[in-house]
């Protein structure tokens, strides 16, 4: 993927804000509880290595990623902390994980059976595994204690090949006001941990929402994701947060072309927009190939502290806005962030697109350069 550094469309990442968000979360943890920064999906679009460096500086003691390649990218950048891959890897890659001291989740005895013969080399350290428990998320994990015990029996065949470093679950409703389902999942999780012969080093259940709004089920590590980036995990559902979350990401561009059009003149593919009189139209060099999707037609950007409507269809690499006057090429455009007294948040973009801010942040394409501010 080519990153477009010679174009004014840029994702700005405020590192100080990330530092503060992590510090706030750490300050609320019990002594001995660690924070692993969730930096999967290019740190939710904010830039993997940049965010990892800031989180480390702020006191994160480990990282969570989604896929093995992200973990290897951290190792290649010389991060030595524990790294946990949250998604299942294929057994054939177990030796790569072990050789790089990367922890992986295990959700079945069959996976262990398949990985075991690949891990017997004396040159490999034991593979660190975290037992994934499906307490109600319905995604990955042991559904019954018997299944978990079958897996432990496989490990017992050659215990030198595995290090049972953790046990964890994931809540599906931690960001909702009604806590009944959450409490059911917590009860189930506690039953699984009680059935373990030995408590592993890491017992963890908390994503951002759990860390903000729930007690931590005897956990000693939190997997801190979206709140590190300053976004409320619940969207609008639970506006009350124990500390102010400050968004770290802004998205900016510039007008590259300005023109006057007249009544009836059409803008963009399909000629879906027609000027209702004399209008100033600016062209912004960003489009759906950058993650600014077609559905953003009719939304707005900020120019000079004023909301300007996105008119006509968003193209692959450009879109047009109606401006109150002629603004020359080079005029700053804010797609997400502050301009004058006005602001547009990722949540606003998500609301307009009928989705969640997680999806908007992760959809910002690799073509957009990330720049620290």
Q: Is 269 a catalytic residue?
A: yes
* 79, 56 Cβ separation under 8 angstroms: yes
Distance (Å, whole) CA 12 – CA 249: 6
- Helix%, strand%, coil% for the chain, nearest 5: 35, 25, 40
Distance (Å, whole) CA 321 – CA 310: 4
Question: H/E element holding 52?
Answer: helix 48-58
The span of 73-81, 191-199, 201-209, 309-317 binding ligand PLP (CB under 6 A) equals 201-209
Distance (Å, whole) CA 209 – CA 218: 16
Minimum CB–partner distance for residue 226 and ligand PLP (Å): 3
Comparing every residue's Cβ against ligand PLP, the nearest one is 225
Minimum CB–partner distance for residue 203 and ligand PLP (Å): 14
Residue 97 in contact with ligand PLP, rule: CB under 6 A: no
Smaller CB separation from ligand PLP, 233 or 247: 233
CA angle 27, 31, 35 (to 5 degrees): 60
DSSP state of 119: G
Distance (Å, whole) CA 152 – CA 294: 50
**Window 44-73: residues binding ligand PLP (CB under 6 A):** none
Residue 207 in contact with ligand PLP, rule: CB under 6 A: yes
Residues 20, 46, 130, 170: which binds ligand PLP (CB under 6 A)?
A: 170
Residue 38 in contact with ligand PLP, rule: CB under 6 A: yes
Query: Which is the catalytic residue, given 57, 269, 288, 325?
Result: 269
- Residues 216-255 vs ligand PLP: string with x where CB under 6 A? -------xxxx------x----------------------
Minimum CB–partner distance for residue 312 and ligand PLP (Å): 35
* 356, 235 Cβ separation under 8 angstroms: yes
Q: Which residues are catalytic?
A: 40, 269
Residues that bind ligand PLP (CB under 6 A): 38, 86, 170, 207-209, 223-226, 233
């Amino acid at each position: 993927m080519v990153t477009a550094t010679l174009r004014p469309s840029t994702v700005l990442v405020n590192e100080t804000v990330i530092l503060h968000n992590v510090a706030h979360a750490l300050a609320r943890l019990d002594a001995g509880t660690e924070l692993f920064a969730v930096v999967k999906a290019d740190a939710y679009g904010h830039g993997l290595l940049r965010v990892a460096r800031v989180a480390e500086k702020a006191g994160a003691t480990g990282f969570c990623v989604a896929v093995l390649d992200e973990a290897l990218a951290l190792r290649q950048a010389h991060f030595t902390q524990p790294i946990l891959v949250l998604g299942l890897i294929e057994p054939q890659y177990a030796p790569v994980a072990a050789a790089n001291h990367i922890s992986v989740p295990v959700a079945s005895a069959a996976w262990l059976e398949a990985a075991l013969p690949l891990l017997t080399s004396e040159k490999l350290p034991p593979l660190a595994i975290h037992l994934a428990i499906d307490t109600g998320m319905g995604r990955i994990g042991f559904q019954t204690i018997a299944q978990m015990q079958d897996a432990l029996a496989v490990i017992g065949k050659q215990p030198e090949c595995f290090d049972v470093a953790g046990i964890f679950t994931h809540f599906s409703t931690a960001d909702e006001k009604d806590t009944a389902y959450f409490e059911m999942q917590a009860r189930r999780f506690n039953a699984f941990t009680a059935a373990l012969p030995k408590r592993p080093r890491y017992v963890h259940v908390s994503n951002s929402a759990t860390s903000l709004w729930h007690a931590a089920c005897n956990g000693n590590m939190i997997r801190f994701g979206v709140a590190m980036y300053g976004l409320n995990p619940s969207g609008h559902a639970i506006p009350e947060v124990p500390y102010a979350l400050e968004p770290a990401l802004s998205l900016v561009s510039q007008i590259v072309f300005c023109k006057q059009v007249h009544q009836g003149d059409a803008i963009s593919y399909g000629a879906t927009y027609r000027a209702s009189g004399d209008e100033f139209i600016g062209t912004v060099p960003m489009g759906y190939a950058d993650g600014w999707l077609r559905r953003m037609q009719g939304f707005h950007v900020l120019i000079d502290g004023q909301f300007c409507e996105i008119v006509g269809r968003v193209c692959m690499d450009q879109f047009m806005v109606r401006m109150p006057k002629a603004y020359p090429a080079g005029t700053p455009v804010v797609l997400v962030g502050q301009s004058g007294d006005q602001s547009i948040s990722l949540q606003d973009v998500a609301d307009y697109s009928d989705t969640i801010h997680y999806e908007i942040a992760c959809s910002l394409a690799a073509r957009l350069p990330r720049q620290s501010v």
